[in-house]
Structure 1
Amino acid sequence: MDFDDLIFRYFGTTSLDGVSEGARVAGVERMLVDFGLSRDRGGRFALWTLLYMFDAAPDLDIAFSDPADRDAARNFMDLFAGAEGEPQ
């Protein structure tokens, strides 16, 4: 899944700068529904990472039954925190 495609799918634009709060909330709600319905492992992970960036991701033990997926998500969280300048 391409990041820009996901952003466009859920928010109708590839630039989040002009997205209203209501549109942001609605987009996140649609992502959560799609995340819950998806059975595609890679697609679920992509949605989870996007939800994480919006501070709306389900807890790892709920989101991923596979320990390898939980480890990958933790790695993503560490990388994201490092990119944001947060101590790890």
Structure 2
Amino acid sequence: MDLDALLHHYFGTVELDTLDAGAIEAGVDRIGIAFGTEREAGRRFALWAVLHALGRAPDPARAFKVPREREAALAYARAASSAERRDED
């Protein structure tokens, strides 16, 4: 999945910093609904990753019933956290 395409589809723009809080919340709600109804594992993971980047992802243990998908989400979260810490230094 293309990140810009996802952002444009759910938020109407790729420039999230131009949106007000209501527009961000509406986009996050749309992604959450899509995540909850998506059946294809790759698309579902991509939606979860966007929610994670926005600080709104459900816990991987609850979000992913398939152990392999859950472990991938946990690994992604650890890597993102590690990268964020490096950026702060």
The residue that corresponds to 1:84 in the other structure is 84
Quick check: 59-68 or 39-48, which moved more?
Answer: 59-68
1:56 to partner: Cα distance: 1.2
Structure 1: unaligned runs, 5 residues or longer? none
The TM-score, its normalising length taken from structure 2, stands at 0.90
Distance 1:2 1:36 in 2: 19
Structure that is richer in helix per residue: 2
SS at 2:65's partner residue? coil
- Counterpart residue type for residue 85 of structure 1: R
TM-score (norm: length of structure 1): 0.91
Q: Which residue of 2 aligns with 1:35?
A: 35
Partner SS for 2:31: helix
Counting matched residue pairs gives: 86
Structure 1 residue ranges, 4+ long, deviating more than 3 angstroms after superposition? none
Unmatched tracts of structure 2, length 5 or more? none
In structure 2, what residue type is equivalent to 1:34?
A: A
Residues 69-80 of structure 1: pairs in structure 2 closer than 5 A: 69-80=69-80
State the partner residue of 2:3: 3
CA distance in 2, matches of 1:8, 1:30: 12
Offset at residue 7 of structure 1 (A): 0.7
Mapping for residues 11-50 of structure 1, pairs under 5 Å:
11-50=11-50
- Give the distance between the partners of 1:24 and 1:52, measured in 2 at CA: 14
CA RMSD of aligned residues (A): 1.1
